[in-house]
Structure 1
Amino acid sequence: MADQASQMRSLRDVASRINSDGDLETILRDLIHAACEHGGWTLGSVMAIDAAHGEAHVMVRHDPTLLRRPLENRWELATSPALIALQRNEPVYIRDARASDEFPGYRREAFERDYRTVLVLPMSCADAENRPMVLNVVSRGITEVSPDDLAFMSMIVHLGGIAVEREHRIRAERQAAEQLQKALQTQTTLLQEVLSGGSTSALAAMLADLLPAPVLVVDFSGNALVASRSPTPVHFDDTAWQRAIDTSLGSQIITAARDAVAAQRNEPRGLRLDDGERQLQLMARIEPLNVDGQAVGALVIFPTAQAAGDLERLLLDSVKFALSVQMMRSVIRFRFETRTLTELFFEIIERRWRDADDVLLRGRRLGLALGAPARMVVVDFPDMPSLPADISVDCHHAVTRLARQLNVPASVVAIGGGLVCLLPHDEDDDQERIGRLARRMVETLRHSFNREPIVVLGGVCDGLDTYPKEWERCWRMIRIARAFGRTGTLSASDFGPMPMLIGAAESADVRSFVDSSIGIVVAHDRKHDTPYLETLAAYLREGCRAQACADAMGLHVTTLRYRLARIQDLFGIDPETPDRRFAIELAIRLHGVIENGSATAG
């Protein structure tokens, strides 16, 4: 070995050589070359230790031999001193590999490649896959290695470790800079897409290339779901996943997203889905999409095993902002169109229009074919306290989405406490088609209210003059349904003559008839808490048969006869004559309709 001054110069040369710019492989190649050149060794290599698989891999070699031949690049750790060097964190010196029985692999190669002494030194660094490394050097002849020689070689290895760690830091900084640049470019691209009027679907399509994890965009205002790619390729490919969320899984995902946003929970949680054929359990993180404190949607992220870094979170924030802006534009556009459509509908049913052509033109611009026959279906929401402020918007989107799924062209109008659906009239399959849609509407909206709404199947509107009449007819049936506690799908045939009675009961003459017939009985019952009207109604209902009426009311027949006598004495009502009996019974029925209607209105 050289003297101390020569060793110092050698170390300086080694440091200069491995400190030059280059990738990890170049640094290692310069390191092993410098170690052989200045340490007096013939051959050398740097090996990465894969302890999990029990192997050592040769990363770079220094072999000035002119004869090129295939060499062993993978060693079993059981036959290599590399693991011993790492475990003890000290060099392993094999004076004569040809005579060593401890490492048969080295013994065999020593004869094949003509070398004798081997020195294995652990390196205080790892490769790009975080595998620890060792440096091996060999000589043709037997070399005696002194403590000073070991110190010199250890210093070379230490300088190499410093260079490797520096390269790792540079690479990490380079990757971070590239990710930051990508995040900034992504933010610019997303904002350009939004400002240029791009759709939510176009933005969601961009996310497949931007985010490593599959995501799902839930648009509350548009009632739409758009996926970047499938989170469970085993069950759905990308196309099948989008089709599934458009049909069977959509309402489940929207409900889960709304619940998570309302509860302000964005930690990963289990998302249980059922498409009718299988049950899926997916882990998902639901991030709210807010604008000015209003939740306009959600970003459902199906996280991968890799934890998100700071730059990925920055990228995610950019994505959320762009999606929020895009969805707020949809909210504003939807509210304007809905308000305009509602105003036009009420202008028609309240007969406030003057120019029919102007109304038809305005309707055409809003998607209403007012000149063609259309069937009216009216939805009345349940009267419930503490409903969400945007429940009407949600129901509007749910019905629109349902009609699209059933291939039924429908114009949906929001009317405050309900909806009006105008469906093109088709005489061939009108009843079956409308009935199927109405039943599905009840099922869909029941999830929003936890109870059934009233869905009235109205008649056909053919011309602007028929809309007010059909609207009044449908609303009359809603009042009847409310009065008698009916919900679900209803039509005029479900009520018999009741709609006509309701219409008649609202006239002043009918109210006067009711008051003159039984008004005094009603007033007496209210003042004295007597059951005379109830008794009279039961008696007429049982065909004026005293015993049957007494049994139905749970009274003794004598008590019933006493009440009937008192009714005749107090009010002069004798239901025994046919004409008088019909008048009293009709008055009682109309009174019930009027009372129920007043209670509902209140």
Structure 2
Amino acid sequence: MPNTLSLMSSLRDVASRINTDAEVDTLLHSLIELACRHGSWDLGSIMSVDISRGDALVIARRDTTLLKKPLADRWELATSPALVALQRNEAVYIRNALETTEFLGYRREAAERGYRTVLVLPMASRDVEGRPMVLVVSARKIVDVPAEHLAFMELVVHLGAIAIERAYRQRAQQAAAEHLRRVVDVQGAMLQEVLAGGSMSTLTEMLADLLDSPVLVIDFCGGELLASRSPRATLDSAAWRTLLDGEAGRQIRSTALGAIERHALRRVRFDLPSGLPLHADVEPLSVDGDTVGALLSFDEREPGDLHTIAIENAKFAMSVQLMRSVIRFRSETRTLTELFLEIVERRWRDERDVIERARRLGLSLAAPTRLLVIDYSRRDDRAFDRSAECHRAASMLAAQHKLLIHPITVGSGLVCLLPDVPTRTAATVTAFARQLCAALTTLLGGEPTLVAGDLFVGLEALANEWDRCWRMIRVARAFGKSGALSVPDLGPLPMLIGAADSSDVRAFISGTIGHIVEYDAQHRASYIETLATYIRHGCRSQACADAMGLHVTTLRYRLARISDLFGIDVETPERRFAVELALQLHNLLDAGHSVGAAAHNAL
């Protein structure tokens, strides 16, 4: 064994040598070479300890034997001192491996390779796979290891651990720099592609390369799902595309939009019909404060700062690209909506000019056409306007039924114009209306109201049909009805509403109960309610008093006051019918007038 002065002099060579090695593999081989040479050991190796597998693996070796023999690279931890050294965090010294009874693997190999003394030292570092390491040296003869020599070996191991950690940091910095360079390059290419008006599919592939993970871009306006490679090794690209084109794609789109709307956690679980759950980071894509798309990244790694920057830049590029789709949709919708409102509000001057403008937009109003009016469920969150999705759903469903339709977004609803075809049956239109109502229910989170009108030809007929359909929707709102409706579904109420719009009927209502309505409004009284309840219970005092929670004497007093103040008598069948009809018409107008006015202004 070398003396202390020689050992101290050797440290400079050790530190200098391992400091020049940048690669971890080269560094490990240099470390075991220096430890053997300066520590006067004959053989040596560095081993990774895989505790989960229960063995130790040789990753660097020094063997000066001229006659090469096949050597064992794996050792069971049960026969190796490596695990003991790591657990105790101290060196394990085997004076004579031929006589050891604790480590039988070394006893067998010592006889084969001709070494005696073994020293195993734990290393305060890990290999590239994160496994702890030990340094093992051995001598062909039995040697004693004094304290200063052991300290020297521990110091060599410590210097090696420092050099290994430095190499890992350098490798990580180089990888980060390379990743940053690649991110910058891809981001620049993406922006150039966006400015050049490139396709969304090309951008999606660039984005997958940028994030180094499978991605999925959802266009809520256009209804497209643009995917890169499959997020599952068990699904090839064709199978993944087929999955997205079916029910799974609709479910993914709905789940992503729901998560954005609820401001849920960014990491979202998608339960596919195949039973294979997927997890993805969901990021909204917005234009002018409206959510127009979503970016899904199927990455299992924890996001870092660079990944976050890449996501933000990707969202910007994708939002700019989606803006074109949004602008095109809004432009087309606005043009059709303006023309439709001009017709139904009867603001046109030259009918032929309006028909020609409609023809240029693809509408033939001079031919028989059917009108469908859909009133959406009320939504307060304007940032999640789903009119584009409803527009797309109507077009896709019409294509499945082989129907030509012209969907027009109007206020808080949708209007569909269906050019008539002689071979089309009423059952086809009814089936389309019901399926469209069901599809929109899923999108809106509530059942809309859909009314199918009759055939019309010309502008005035369209305006009249619109008024009739909207009267039905107004009645449906007032009475809490929804779904695909027709006149029989509402009974005579649409006709009564239509009649109530005339001045004669309004005069009848005013002359019959108008004074009571005005009196109640001015004095905050409830005479009109008392009168309506009394008639509804067949003019039976006790039943009416019980329904209102009054004493029968109090009810009779109120009825007497109504007769004295307003001269209303309901004791004869004729007068009772007149008052009851006035009350019904007043309730219909009062329930639907404000809603109808707001709808006409919005639509």
Asked if Structure 1 and Structure 2 have the same fold, meaning a TM-score greater than 0.5 normalized by the shorter chain, the answer is: yes
Tell me if 1:185 matches 2:177.
Answer: no
Tell me if 1:346 matches 2:346.
Answer: no
Tell me if 1:359 matches 2:352.
Answer: no
| Other structure's SS at 1:66 match | coil
Distance 2:19 2:529 in 1: 107
Aligned to 2:304: 309
Give the RMSD, CA atoms, in angstroms. 4.6
Aligned to 1:142: 142
Distance 2:481 2:85 in 1: 85
Deviation string, structure 1 residues 115-169 (Cα, Å, up to 9, x no partner): 2332323333221122222222233333444444434433433332232222111
Distance 2:271 2:540 in 1: 57
Count of aligned pairs: 566
Aligned to 1:85: 85
Distance 1:230 1:451 in 2: 33
Change (3 A) 1:429 1:63: farther
Aligned to 2:600: none
* Paired residues for 1:130-529 under 5 Å: 130-198=130-198, 200=200, 202-211=202-211, 216-222=216-222, 226=226, 238-239=240-241, 241-242=243-244, 243-248=246-251, 250-260=253-263, 265-266=264-265, 268=267, 271=269, 285-290=281-286, 295-300=291-296, 304=300, 306-349=301-344, 350=346, 352=348, 353-355=351-353, 358-364=356-362, 368=363, 373-381=368-376, 387-389=380-382, 393-405=385-397, 407-408=400-401, 409-446=404-441, 452-462=447-457, 466-482=461-477, 486-494=481-489, 503=498, 506-508=501-503, 510-511=504-505, 515=507, 520-523=511-514, 526=517
Distance 2:484 2:440 in 1: 12
Distance 1:593 1:311 in 2: 67
Aligned to 1:31: 31
1:63 Cα deviation after fit: 2.0
TM-score (norm 1): 0.77
Change (3 A) 1:497 1:48: closer
TM-score (norm 2): 0.77
Change (3 A) 1:410 1:206: farther
Quick check: 101-110 or 492-501, which moved more? 492-501
Distance 1:97 1:436 in 2: 88
Quick check: 89-98 or 169-178, which moved more? 89-98
8 Å contact from structure 1 (residues 95, 117) kept in 2: yes
Distance 2:493 2:544 in 1: 29
Matched-pair identity in %: 43
| Other structure's SS at 2:129 match | coil
Distance 1:535 1:226 in 2: 63
1:377 Cα deviation after fit: 0.2
Change (3 A) 1:554 1:115: closer
The one-letter amino acid of 2:169's match is R
Change (3 A) 1:157 1:528: closer
Quick check: 525-534 or 493-502, which moved more? 525-534
1:458 Cα deviation after fit: 1.1
Change (3 A) 1:341 1:134: same
The one-letter amino acid of 2:380's match is L
* Paired residues for 1:578-593 under 5 Å: 592-593=584-585
Deviation string, structure 1 residues 425-444 (Cα, Å, up to 9, x no partner): 34545433332332244445
Distance 2:317 2:511 in 1: 69
Distance 1:255 1:190 in 2: 28
Aligned to 1:545: none
Change (3 A) 1:228 1:371: farther
8 Å contact from structure 2 (residues 289, 383) kept in 1: no
Distance 2:257 2:360 in 1: 33
Unaligned runs of 5+ in 2: 521-525, 546-551, 595-603
1:75 Cα deviation after fit: 0.7
Quick check: 118-127 or 161-170, which moved more? 118-127
Aligned to 2:109: 109
Unaligned runs of 5+ in 1: 543-547
Aligned to 1:53: 53
Change (3 A) 1:591 1:132: closer
8 Å contact from structure 1 (residues 525, 533) kept in 2: no
Change (3 A) 1:465 1:106: same
The one-letter amino acid of 2:339's match is L
Change (3 A) 1:159 1:450: closer
Change (3 A) 1:428 1:84: same
| Other structure's SS at 1:99 match | coil
Distance 2:515 2:38 in 1: 122
Distance 1:252 1:124 in 2: 47
Distance 2:576 2:51 in 1: 100
Distance 1:90 1:494 in 2: 88
Change (3 A) 1:443 1:158: same
The one-letter amino acid of 1:521's match is T
Change (3 A) 1:56 1:574: closer
Deviation string, structure 1 residues 511-560 (Cα, Å, up to 9, x no partner): 4xx74x78643456557899999999x99x99xxxxx987999799xx9x
8 Å contact from structure 1 (residues 218, 297) kept in 2: yes
1:7 Cα deviation after fit: 4.3
The one-letter amino acid of 2:392's match is T
8 Å contact from structure 1 (residues 81, 103) kept in 2: yes
Distance 1:390 1:25 in 2: 56
1:58 Cα deviation after fit: 0.5
